[in-house]
A and B are shown apart, each in its own frame.
Chain A
Amino acid sequence: DGGITQSPKYLFRKEGQNVTLSCEQNLNHDAMYWYRQDPGQGLRLIYYSQIVNDFQKGDIAEGYSVSREKKESFPLTVTSAQKNPTAFYLCASNIVWTGDNSPLHFGNGTRLTVT
């Protein structure tokens, strides 16, 4: 079955350490996204990529970095510069049509706790 796989499900890190969250999709989708979800708030876009080797900052990109070397993979690195990294991180993908977008498919998320 096609889908999006995020790993690990839970991640614990000490403050000051960089950490990389994995996102892999086998849906053959061009576009991939990273969102952050905090309690009581809507999802906030961190980075997105519509094509291999290209990506754009979302609304809250500071302290994060990404790469898109393969169509299937879009890893997110949470750096020590991110002031409040503890959150639930969601990866998503979709097909981007001209003038519109298709429904998003989501992974099951990674819960990151930094102490």
Chain B
Amino acid sequence: KQEVTQIPAALSVPEGENLVLNCSFTDSAIYNLQWFRQDPGKGLTSLLLIQSSQREQTSGRLNASLDKSSGRSTLYIAASQPGDSATYLCAVSAPNYQLIWGAGTKLIIKP
């Protein structure tokens, strides 16, 4: 059974730092992996989607990598800003196209 883990559950860093969020999964048979952002009391916003055949995707200051063989993905945020404070969730697509979710990492960027 696919399990998705995000460690740490919370992270606090000073503004301007580059940082990495981690996502690990137990079954490498995935179609894609997605990273989402969730602001308090809100829905989720899709940030990046990496197909299983891809190694990474970039959008602005965000870069997501995927290593299926090791069951890992990272979300790199460059030059962090207070507006980046949110909970970041990753999800992998199972063979039936449904998503298996991690519990998220709550990120706080201190001004």
A115 contacts B by Cβ under 8 Å: no
A101 contacts B by Cβ under 8 Å: yes
**Which of B41, B51, B97 is most buried by chain A, counting CB atoms within 10 A of its CB?**
B97
Contact B42 A108 (CB under 8 A): yes
Note all chain B residues with C-beta closer than 8 A to A96. 97
B13 contacts A by Cβ under 8 Å: no
Task: Report the minimum CB–CB distance from A92 to chain B (whole Å).
Answer: 8
Contact B41 A100 (CB under 8 A): no
Note all chain B residues with C-beta closer than 8 A to A104. 34, 36, 44, 46, 99
Q: Mark B33-65, 1 if CB is under 8 A from A, else 0.
A: 010100001111110010100000000000000
Task: Report the minimum CB–CB distance from B110 to chain A (whole Å).
Answer: 23
Task: Report the minimum CB–CB distance from B15 to chain A (whole Å).
Answer: 27
Contact B43 A109 (CB under 8 A): yes
Task: Report the minimum CB–CB distance from B87 to chain A (whole Å).
Answer: 10
Q: Which of chain B's residues 57-111 have a Cβ closer than 8 Å to chain A?
A: 89, 91, 93, 97-104
**What's the Cα separation between A105 and B41 when bound, in Å?**
16
Of the listed stretches A42-50, A67-75, A76-84, name the one at the interface; the rest are far from the partner chain. Answer: A42-50
Task: Tally A residues with Cβ within 8 Å of B.
Answer: 25
Q: What are 18 inter-chain pairs, A to B, with CB distance below 8 A? A: A6-B43, A40-B103, A41-B103, A42-B101, A42-B102, A43-B99, A43-B101, A90-B43, A96-B97, A99-B31, A100-B31, A100-B32, A104-B36, A106-B36, A106-B45, A107-B43, A109-B43, A111-B41
B4 contacts A by Cβ under 8 Å: yes
Task: Tally B residues with Cβ within 8 Å of A.
Answer: 25
Contact A42 B43 (CB under 8 A): no
Which of A44, A100, A108 contacts B43 (CB under 8 A)? A108
**What's the Cα separation between A51 and B91 when bound, in Å?**
23
**What's the Cα separation between A6 and B42 when bound, in Å?**
11
Note all chain B residues with C-beta closer than 8 A to A101. 31-32, 93, 97
A2 contacts B by Cβ under 8 Å: no
Q: Mark A83-106, 1 if CB is under 8 A from B, else 0.
A: 000000010100010011111111
